[in-house]
Structure 1
Amino acid sequence: MKKNLLNYKGLYGDNNQRDFGDFVNHELLATRSKLYNWEINVHLHTDLFQIFIISSGEGVLIQDNKRINLKAPCILLIPTNTFHGFEFQSDVIGEVFTISEQFIETIFKNTPLILLELNKAKQYSFNLDNQDLNDFIYLKNKITKTISENSSYKQISLQSLFQLFFIGLHHLNNTFEDQKELSNNRTLGYFHAFQKLIKKTLPESKLIKEYANELRITPVHLNRICQTLVQKTALQVVHEYCITEAKKYLLYSSYSISEISYLLNFKDPAYFSRLFKKQTGLSPNIFRSNNSQKDSN
């Protein structure tokens, strides 16, 4: 039987198709983890963003075939469409917020820089006496209380509280260069929209000029935006997404190289293999073999 990617439309273990809208969910870390003996298989959520707040204990995040230690207190962000799994100690204490992508895009539609930051998984570690940690715990408690309320202003309150939460993390994030800070919202908005278009389509089925047309800008303008923000051409951004998706299939499915190339809408598996090797330095077969050996060690 062919092994496919473990992709949950809802929360872990829930694969019911639904329209999440402005979905926000809160639960204790133990609620779901305990059901699976504290081991969460590697999976992704297509439309859901997650925040893990671990206040006590330890665990391991499994991502991109790497094992990343999690030690409390810490906050972990898992973006949509990101493969991840966990191994928690049974005494771990924490909470999980699960938010729809639409909810995040609504609250940050005028600040696309933060949306750009939220594209990658990130762990924030704290000392117990850190004032920033106290601020996040205060906001976490306010969010939890608001979720349980039945107020006419519940949705507005949640939007404001999550804005403060993510803006607080943004101030801790020193990975973005000054030029990104100086980029105007219009430029960042175009880039975010470009990323969404890539995600929605099978990348190899579209030309850069077609993406540009949908954004109502010229291909030259789109390339300039990509160069400014990520120092890549628009085509390189598309190829980077293709390779990231290909790695998921190579690591977490049993599809053949040819099948993966067709799933990503490459018309020629040989071209897919050449592009993959150019981007990673390894052929798809060797990449899969090397990472399979890591799993067995």
Structure 2
Amino acid sequence: MSAHLAHSTEPIPRYWLYGEPPAVPELRFVHIETIPERMRLYNWEVRPHRHDGLSHALLVTEGGGRLTADGGEVTFRAPALITVPAQVVHGFRFDPGTDGHVLTVSEGFLAGVQAAAPDAELREAPALPMAWDLEAGSDEAAMLDRCFAEIRREFRAHHAGRASAISAQVMLLLVAALRLAADRRRDGAARDGQGVSPDVRLLARLRPMIDERFSHHWPVERYAAALGVTPNRLNAACRRVTGLSTLQLVHARLMLEARRSLIYTSHGMAEIGYALGFEDPAYFSRFFTKREGRSPQAFRRAHAGGVEGDGLTGGSLDGNGLDRTGGVSPQ
């Protein structure tokens, strides 16, 4: 599949929802729909692009197609599970008539699910784009079908504990992905990472390092040394895969943690700043304001009550505008 690019002022198109201007997703953003619901509108093709802070999981139940990730290609046939991490440039070409589900979650939502996982292996999201063909009628295919169906049912309903139910199913999806990867490695038939470029693999090593060290404020040179590459090599890989520099990725992780702390804790500004490695509370405030467009205090006021109801911003998934009929999906 050739890497056609949509018209954009950036070399790689960057969207909030596919075809819409980029924006920062709500911390608890979740969306699910069927593949045909959106793909019929785009002639079954999503051209290479990236999102800031949104990850995908797809369950293909009929048909097939090709996943493009950073120039590499993976062909898949139903039943298949596909995962695409946040910020990785990706595209799809589905065979007409392909069916299945597309789940999209924000890094904030995914981080919350992982934080609650008792198994350490689940606390790291898949760092590479992956596509696994499943055995038709297998237990794993049936389990994944139930997971996606239950997420869709909960998403469309408005029952008590809605977000908790969706979180539980997302955790099961993480378990399934972990086991699939382990099984393929054990059988010597791994497809995860097939066709993936060295740049994406390097980013996959960088992400968990940032998750562990973002509050230490490491310079780019230290990340590069830990990965055994030069700072120029690391920055070039980050820009080719995500459109962001290494430092911008670290700052994005700091901002994610800052937003979570401001919404879901009652800690003061100085306490949050210190926890994030800022020795000067005023510098933390300037850092946050420059990237968010409002002060930490203003952000907290705007999200007051975010831990009520579903535990989502505004107390409901509705606050993300996800239930509008015919809305554009973040493919």
Shared fold (TM-score, shorter chain, > 0.5)? yes
Superposed counterparts of 1:29-48, under 5 Å: 29-48=35-54
Q: Which amino acid aligns with 2:137?
A: D
Q: Given that residues 56 and 84 in structure 2 are in contact (C-alpha distance below 8 angstroms), is that contact kept between their aligned partners in structure 1? A: yes
User: What is the CA–CA distance in structure 2 between the aligned matches of 1:265 and 1:157, rounded to whole Å?
Assistant: 35
Partner SS state of residue 86, structure 1: strand
Alignment pair present for 1:154 and 2:147: no
Deviations 1:94-143 (A, max 9, x none): 21011011001001125553343511111121111211111111111111
Identity %: 18
1:242 aligned residue (235, 250, 259): 235
Partner SS state of residue 115, structure 2: coil
Closer, same or farther: CA 264–165 of 1 in aligned 2, 3 Å: closer
Alignment pair present for 1:193 and 2:211: yes
| Equivalent in the alignment of 2:306 | none
User: What is the CA–CA distance in structure 1 between the aligned matches of 2:99 and 2:208, rounded to whole Å?
Assistant: 40
User: What is the CA–CA distance in structure 2 between the aligned matches of 1:76 and 1:265, rounded to whole Å?
Assistant: 26
| Equivalent in the alignment of 1:55 | 61
Partner SS state of residue 143, structure 2: helix
| TM-score normalized by the length of structure 2 | 0.57
User: What is the CA–CA distance in structure 1 between the aligned matches of 2:170 and 2:176, rounded to whole Å?
Assistant: 10
Q: Which amino acid aligns with 2:86?
A: T
| Equivalent in the alignment of 2:271 | none
Q: Which amino acid aligns with 2:97?
A: D
Return the offset for 1:56. 0.6
Gaps of 5+ in 2: 1-7, 187-206, 248-331
Superposed counterparts of 1:7-156, under 5 Å: 7-9=14-16, 11-109=17-115, 111=117, 113-156=121-164
User: What is the CA–CA distance in structure 2 between the aligned matches of 1:85 and 1:15, rounded to whole Å?
Assistant: 17
Q: Given that residues 38 and 90 in structure 1 are in contact (C-alpha distance below 8 angstroms), is that contact kept between their aligned partners in structure 2? A: yes
Q: Given that residues 27 and 96 in structure 1 are in contact (C-alpha distance below 8 angstroms), is that contact kept between their aligned partners in structure 2? A: yes
Q: Given that residues 116 and 192 in structure 1 are in contact (C-alpha distance below 8 angstroms), is that contact kept between their aligned partners in structure 2? A: no
Closer, same or farther: CA 132–76 of 1 in aligned 2, 3 Å: same
Q: Given that residues 65 and 92 in structure 2 are in contact (C-alpha distance below 8 angstroms), is that contact kept between their aligned partners in structure 1? A: yes
> Higher RCO, 1 or 2 (CA under 8 Å, sep at least 6)?
2
Return the offset for 1:149. 1.4
Return the offset for 1:234. 4.7
Gaps of 5+ in 1: 178-188, 212-222, 224-231, 250-259, 267-297
Q: Which amino acid aligns with 1:97?
A: L
Partner SS state of residue 11, structure 2: coil
Q: Given that residues 114 and 171 in structure 2 are in contact (C-alpha distance below 8 angstroms), is that contact kept between their aligned partners in structure 1? A: yes
User: What is the CA–CA distance in structure 1 between the aligned matches of 2:73 and 2:30, rounded to whole Å?
Assistant: 28
Closer, same or farther: CA 238–27 of 1 in aligned 2, 3 Å: farther
Return the offset for 1:4. 2.5
Q: Given that residues 122 and 178 in structure 2 are in contact (C-alpha distance below 8 angstroms), is that contact kept between their aligned partners in structure 1? A: yes
Q: Which has the higher helix share?
A: 1
Partner SS state of residue 60, structure 2: strand
Q: Given that residues 126 and 133 in structure 1 are in contact (C-alpha distance below 8 angstroms), is that contact kept between their aligned partners in structure 2? A: yes
| TM-score normalized by the length of structure 1 | 0.63
